[in-house]
Structure 1
Amino acid sequence: MDNLVYVIPKDKNDKENLIKILKEHPEIKFVSLVGVDLGGNATDEKIPIEVMLDDLDSFLNYGIQTDGSSVVLHEIAHLNNARVDLVPDLNVNWFVDYNYEHIDNNLPVGTLEIPSFLIHNGERVDSRSVLIKAIDNFKTKLMDILKTYPHILHSIGISDPYYIEDILLTSATELEFWVKTPNDKADIEKLSTSQMLKEQYWKRTHGTVRTALEKTLILLQKYGLEPEMGHKEVGGVSSKIATNGKTDHVMEQLEIDWKYSNALQAADNELIVRELIEDIFASYGLEVTFAAKPLEGVAGNGEHTHVGVAVKLKNGKIRNLFSPLDMKSDYLSEIGYGSLMGILKNYEVISPFVTSSNDAFNRLKPGFEAPVCIVASLGIDVKTPTRNRSVLVGVVRDIDNHLATRFEVRSPNPLSNTYLVLASLYQSMLDGILAAAKSNKTSKELEAEISKESGVESFYLEKDRTYRSEEDVFEHYTEDERNKLFGKPPATVYENMKNLKEYHEKRKILLDGDVFNEKIINSFIASSLERWETELKDRILLDNINFIRECKKVHNMEEVTDLDVVRWEKINNLRYYMMKNSLDNKCLFTRLREALDDKDYNLASSLQLEMYEKIKEINKLYMRYKRNLFNI
């Protein structure tokens, strides 16, 4: 096992090295071209390695052909024009995925996973390609800005853009996930109580969970991903030991972090990490979910996305473009402030790529440290870096290390499309940097701009918005105050996609440099709305119908009190309102289904929110009702 190949670095994937590696490692029996569609789904195939080696030049240059039915490319790949080519990316690391349940000659069978492009009618139409274009556009446009407005470099100690050799875009993600034993049902009250008491947060892992976590971290090391930490998160309850001595009734939330990389590699790394986590935990009989909100009423899974920008100088030194020359007198450089303002001003067109599913919106609710407000935190004071967990974007700083300065975007979840999230962030940052450079404002003046009160004019930011808060925005402000100061956040997939259509000027920022184009954006909107509609009709509605049916009268006449009768009547009235039609009235579920059938998405969106509120209400009432009964 020690001699297995886990990663083929980008400088080793040429024809000569590949032939040598694959002949020396016959356990690698398959190859898979991994393209990532606009829905964030990665393709997977099992192509015998002999097929690849039979005409290696052609395989590396042209890949394979498939059809658009296998990928999410709405309004791009049609039935009468469905050919999509999968073409290998030769400029990133390739990984080998091993099946430890399939042993041949005492070694697990491996599949060489090659990050790839999806090409339709000669154009790249995949998520990875959008990010690559965003990276190229950012580097080119930023160098133009630095040459045109060189004063923004002076405050970070660079006298002339001539000394810059390269611009470095770094990123890092982290994964939170729930793990449980199969068929175990969550006790929400116990989970909620444990969360409130923080009984699980950063506590010691036990049994199979501990073993699976440790093995995952060791495997990440073998893949060169440099894991930094694995620990328990806030959600979960203590597992039990069964009579056979094995851990039973597992219901825990974990987090795994690994080292940053360049933007594209960071997004690619995330895909392989998810696969490794699922495989290792499954080998110990544990189910893993990366869903943003797998359990209502307890903590969801976040995936904070860190972004940084630096330059490599011709003398070999690295300089962080977000860090001021004097870390004890300023939070950020002019470039840093411009980048942050770009994200905040344009977040309405970033948000759809961050939050594009019903599950993702279930996480973004006040009370669970989930960021829903377009607001940032710089720190209570320059000399005391802090972490405000209630804001959308936090500035991460280390006064003694200028290279550590970066932005932590807290809204993504483990199933967000990291490629499109990063691409939209870079486009927005570029817009803010250009505005800051043109303004000729100092870092102190830019700090005042981003710290302005609502109603104050700004050269770039919107007048009636507040963009900075060092307070807990959920504790310090009411919901009405938050909506007024930071803008009312979208609450459904439809509301979020509508922003991409209504914010025309902000949408243009995505189109700059042809990073996103109208075809890509419209395809993304169409696929997101189709998934939203399908999940609502065929999954969420059915689940809620089953839930309503399970809320049955369970008291008997011997133990009943007037309180039980009143509570049940209230519950039953809600049950009828939600799912029982009459000759004169249609129930909530019927009205929602008809709105979706009629493509009346505005109505469907509002009915979806009403449905969630009613389900939440009946759930709470039913728990109270059962608490007062002896026999249930």
Structure 2
Amino acid sequence: MYNLLHVIPKDKHDAVSLKGLLEDNPQIKFVSLMAVDLGNNSTDEKIPISVMLSDIDGFLKNGAQTDGSSVYLPKIAEINNAKVDLIPDLNVKWIVDYNMAHKDPESQRPVGTLVIPAYLYHDGIPVCSRSVLKRSTDFFKETLKNALNTNAYARDVLGIRTDEMIDEVYMTMATELEFWVKTPNQKSDYEKLSASQTLKEQYWKRTVGPVRTALEQALISLDRLGFEAEMGHKEVGGVPAQLGGEGQFSHIMEQLEIDWKYDEALQSADHELFAREVIQEVFFRHGLKVTFRAKPIEGVAGNGEHHHLGIAVRLNSGRRLNLFAPKDMKASYMNAFGWGALMGVLKNYEVVNPFVTSSNDAFNRLKPGFEAPVCTVASVGHTPEMPARNRTVLIGLVRDTENPLATRFELRAPNPLSNTYLLGAAAYQAMLDGILYVLKSESTAANLEKEMSKAYGEEAGYLEKNRAYRSEEDVFEHYDAEERNKLFGVPPRTVWENLCAFGRANGKLAVLKRGEVFPAAIIDSYQATILSQWVSELSNRVIPSNEDLIRRYVKLHDIEEITDLDVVNWEKIRSLRNELMKNSLAESALFSRIKQAMEVADYETASALQVEMMSKMTQLKALYQEYRHNLFTEA
């Protein structure tokens, strides 16, 4: 329909090339510098393209300034020193975002905005999420390149010949984006959703109506932006839409997934950010609402976003090698570096997890029973000859015996609103820690596999004694909760419990700080950011939402239809309602006690009370459902 410019590759980011492209595409009216703060908020501003064209070299070097009110960098960009610079990133591709509802009067093409990924600088220092991932990949590449070019053991692990040297290290990442789509202001019955999920009636089924059209258009739009979309399909959640008399679909409630090709880590993280915007825009044009929340509907499958992490090297001979793949794919799972990287993530996951799971919504998803990982444990497969996928573990090995370059790890805990930049950086830092152990010990792959597979209480060279790290079982069926906690560690239950990992004196924080990837200022600012979000959300969203729900849980039975079970159930419901919400002169209810603890910054107490609140709310919902189902009619 339109001959539009969608992508400007990094080899066209010089002043001459840009001027020519922008002059040939006058429908591009604005430029936006897209930076990402530590709270995973991305910037979007409309700068007239004429401002950029008036001094392209100056714009590319100096970008734009803000007073810090548009980004959240606590303890860094404070109110008395709030100047923040947005500096364009010239080394990733730029995209053009078109407003299909706004036409350029002269060309009759949609008005476009050139979106340029950028870094946030404060006092001359990069302080944003993108800069952390950039430092992580740079440090990893430099460290690995030096080792592979000078260390005889390292070269032997990969089979590098004496006449070969490392030209480049590639840090690759890919994400699987899940999301729910629904008709605005219409609700689907929870029990129908739950039953459909249990029966897997929607999983990979055919899409119809506006969902099909929007899904197809989203895939096409992503391809235009160079994503190389690989698949779009229905996920496990959802119920069939209702078709009205005029051929209009209503009560749409479906879960979808869209995947695209892997890329370099920083570019891949940018892709994910772009993709969410593109998908929301396309589905919105079809009157559909999209949510990327981790657990938008309690009791039904949440939205995950598995992160695939891989590393490859290119030699000056032209050969390309996977860092983790063994020399014989059918004889071994991985080489020594693969085992080291996997052990690094598991041993240090305590300080990686705060970047993966950083909200109340994220914790709502990570519960047994919904294929969401709870335990810090890995799976590599039952035999090297036959790759397998264990969907109950935190991280798994993905491999293809016919394609060594496909060997990678799948981290299953992230969700679509996890900060991919920070969690990617933390995961790579953890991997590097394990690889450094391997370089120091010069251990064999067989011995590292033995250490990775050690039993609880068994001494090890790198991994902790009182932990187990590998299971090829369904960890939710094979072990009970007590066994899981003993073997794999007690998982945090709240945002506060997760953040407390940074304060433990166990040396793991040094893994993040290695190479100045996560300097103390970034850690402190991130903690302050997530803590503030947790307090605000718990006080102003979670508790008020629970209060509204409790107000809807009213008595339904009358004296003529009452049974003793109705009376007992209602008394239990009434008691729980009072415990949770009803204050008296003598005692504060649970909701009020949480707020009081927050007000005096007693976060330990607030966290413990939140756990109690979640448990009681779960009981209340189950009781009210049982009570309601025993009645002939609802008053």
**What's the TM-score bracket when you normalise by the shorter of the two chains?**
over 0.9
One-letter code aligned to 1:313: L
Separation (CA, whole Å) in 1 of partners of 2:162 and 2:400: 26
Instruction: Quote the offset at 1:185 in angstroms.
Output: 2.0
| Map of 1:52 onto structure 2 | 52
Separation (CA, whole Å) in 2 of partners of 1:179 and 1:395: 31
* 8 Å CA contact 1:208, 1:246 repeated in 2: no
Written as runs of structure 1 = structure 2, the 5 A alignment for 1:110-189 is 110-147=112-149, 149-160=151-162, 162-189=164-191
Separation (CA, whole Å) in 1 of partners of 2:323 and 2:406: 11
1:373-397 superposed Cα distances (whole Å, 9 cap, x missing partner): 1110010111110000000111001
Matched, 1:226 2:228: yes
* 8 Å CA contact 1:147, 1:161 repeated in 2: no
Distance 1:404 1:287, change over 3 A: same
One-letter code aligned to 1:41: N
* 8 Å CA contact 1:152, 1:334 repeated in 2: no
Separation (CA, whole Å) in 1 of partners of 2:601 and 2:431: 35
Instruction: Quote the offset at 1:614 in angstroms.
Output: 0.7
Matched, 1:397 2:399: yes
Question: Which residue, 358, 361, 371 being the options, matches 1:369?
Answer: 371
Separation (CA, whole Å) in 2 of partners of 1:492 and 1:596: 14
Question: Which residue, 508, 521, 524 being the options, matches 1:522?
Answer: 524
Question: Which residue, 556, 579, 582 being the options, matches 1:580?
Answer: 582
Written as runs of structure 1 = structure 2, the 5 A alignment for 1:248-267 is 248-267=250-269
Matched, 1:66 2:57: no
| TM-score normalized with structure 2 length | 0.98
| Map of 2:315 onto structure 1 | 313
Separation (CA, whole Å) in 1 of partners of 2:16 and 2:241: 51
Instruction: Quote the offset at 1:316 in angstroms.
Output: 1.2
| Map of 2:471 onto structure 1 | 469
| Map of 2:427 onto structure 1 | 425
* 8 Å CA contact 2:393, 2:412 repeated in 1: yes
| Map of 1:438 onto structure 2 | 440
SS at match of 2:69: helix
1:107-141 superposed Cα distances (whole Å, 9 cap, x missing partner): 11110000001011111100111111101100111
1:140-172 superposed Cα distances (whole Å, 9 cap, x missing partner): 111233345321332332134952111111111
SS at match of 2:158: coil
Matched, 1:489 2:486: no
Matched, 1:32 2:38: no
Separation (CA, whole Å) in 2 of partners of 1:110 and 1:478: 55
* 8 Å CA contact 2:196, 2:238 repeated in 1: yes
Instruction: Quote the offset at 1:13 in angstroms.
Output: 1.5
Question: Which residue, 538, 544, 555 being the options, matches 2:557?
Answer: 555
Separation (CA, whole Å) in 1 of partners of 2:460 and 2:444: 14
Separation (CA, whole Å) in 2 of partners of 1:414 and 1:43: 18
SS at match of 1:233: strand
1:215-268 superposed Cα distances (whole Å, 9 cap, x missing partner): 111111111100000000000111111222121110000000000001110001
SS at match of 1:65: strand
Instruction: Quote the offset at 1:417 in angstroms.
Output: 0.6
Q: What percent identity do the matched residue pairs reach?
A: 58
| Map of 1:535 onto structure 2 | 537
| Map of 1:95 onto structure 2 | 95
* 8 Å CA contact 2:188, 2:251 repeated in 1: no
* 8 Å CA contact 2:147, 2:154 repeated in 1: no
Written as runs of structure 1 = structure 2, the 5 A alignment for 1:263-412 is 263-412=265-414
Unaligned runs of 5+ in 2: none
| Map of 1:79 onto structure 2 | 79
Separation (CA, whole Å) in 2 of partners of 1:503 and 1:74: 24
Instruction: Quote the offset at 1:72 in angstroms.
Output: 1.4
One-letter code aligned to 1:144: N
Separation (CA, whole Å) in 2 of partners of 1:246 and 1:401: 46
Most deviating of 137-146 and 458-467:
137-146
Separation (CA, whole Å) in 2 of partners of 1:43 and 1:141: 32
* 8 Å CA contact 2:238, 2:254 repeated in 1: yes
Question: Which residue, 459, 462, 468 being the options, matches 1:460?
Answer: 462
One-letter code aligned to 1:151: Y
One-letter code aligned to 1:28: I
Separation (CA, whole Å) in 2 of partners of 1:615 and 1:52: 54
Instruction: Quote the offset at 1:306 in angstroms.
Output: 0.5
1:1-45 superposed Cα distances (whole Å, 9 cap, x missing partner): 441011100001211111111111111111100001011111000
SS at match of 2:611: helix
* 8 Å CA contact 2:553, 2:624 repeated in 1: yes
One-letter code aligned to 2:8: I
| Map of 2:596 onto structure 1 | 594
| Map of 1:450 onto structure 2 | 452
Instruction: Quote the offset at 1:331 in angstroms.
Output: 0.3
SS at match of 1:234: strand
Separation (CA, whole Å) in 2 of partners of 1:74 and 1:503: 24
* 8 Å CA contact 1:149, 1:438 repeated in 2: no
* 8 Å CA contact 2:2, 2:109 repeated in 1: no
Separation (CA, whole Å) in 1 of partners of 2:513 and 2:460: 24
| TM-score normalized with structure 1 length | 0.99
Separation (CA, whole Å) in 2 of partners of 1:21 and 1:145: 42
Separation (CA, whole Å) in 1 of partners of 2:245 and 2:18: 50
One-letter code aligned to 1:32: S
* 8 Å CA contact 1:150, 1:161 repeated in 2: no
Instruction: Quote the offset at 1:282 in angstroms.
Output: 0.2
Instruction: Quote the offset at 1:451 in angstroms.
Output: 0.5
Separation (CA, whole Å) in 2 of partners of 1:589 and 1:116: 41
| Map of 2:571 onto structure 1 | 569
One-letter code aligned to 1:320: N
* 8 Å CA contact 2:182, 2:251 repeated in 1: yes
Separation (CA, whole Å) in 1 of partners of 2:575 and 2:174: 49
Instruction: Quote the offset at 1:619 in angstroms.
Output: 0.5
One-letter code aligned to 1:275: E
Separation (CA, whole Å) in 1 of partners of 2:188 and 2:474: 30
Most deviating of 575-584 and 457-466:
575-584
Separation (CA, whole Å) in 1 of partners of 2:69 and 2:30: 23
* 8 Å CA contact 2:336, 2:438 repeated in 1: yes
Distance 1:434 1:63, change over 3 A: same
| Map of 1:22 onto structure 2 | 22
Instruction: Quote the offset at 1:57 in angstroms.
Output: 1.5
Distance 1:445 1:309, change over 3 A: same
Separation (CA, whole Å) in 2 of partners of 1:399 and 1:629: 58
One-letter code aligned to 2:421: Y
One-letter code aligned to 1:50: S
Separation (CA, whole Å) in 1 of partners of 2:385 and 2:155: 23
Separation (CA, whole Å) in 1 of partners of 2:566 and 2:151: 72
Instruction: Quote the offset at 1:281 in angstroms.
Output: 0.2
* 8 Å CA contact 1:150, 1:160 repeated in 2: no
SS at match of 1:77: coil
SS at match of 2:195: helix
* 8 Å CA contact 2:368, 2:476 repeated in 1: yes
CA-atom RMSD, angstroms? 1.1
